[in-house]
Amino acid sequence: MASDRNGTIYIGVTSDLLGRLYQHRASEISGLTSCYGVTKLVRFELFGDMTGAITREKQLKNWRRAWKLNLIEQDNPHWEDLAVELGFDPNDSR
């Protein structure tokens, strides 16, 4: 998740992507995400089990920022909000 192109990036793991998106977009989560307006889904990966997802989350959190930006831009060069493709209103954020 990100606040905007090249803005604040949040990496997290969830078993309920749609529910988690709603929480971010409604600012129901206090802290970094609500403070910096981290509401855009710019990239996500699906895993068959939580162990694999947590391992990947830890790996990405240890990456340099430039590597994270490159990873996002490989599949989403314009930083489109992918939540819209999942049924969310583009005006829901912030």
Is 60 domain-assigned?
A: yes
The DSSP call for residue 55 is H
pLDDT digits (tens, 9 = 90+) for 39-62: 999 999 999 999 999 999 999 999
pTM for the whole structure: 0.90
Token reading at 19: 């529910």
Distance CA 71, CA 45 (A): 11
Q: How many domains does the chain have?
A: 1
**What is the extent of the structural domain holding 38?**
17-86
The DSSP call for residue 84 is G
Is 67 domain-assigned?
A: yes
Is 93 domain-assigned?
A: no
Place of tokens 């989403």: 76
pLDDT digits (tens, 9 = 90+) for 11-28: 999 999 999 999 988 888
Give strand pairing partners of 9.
2
Is 4 domain-assigned?
A: no
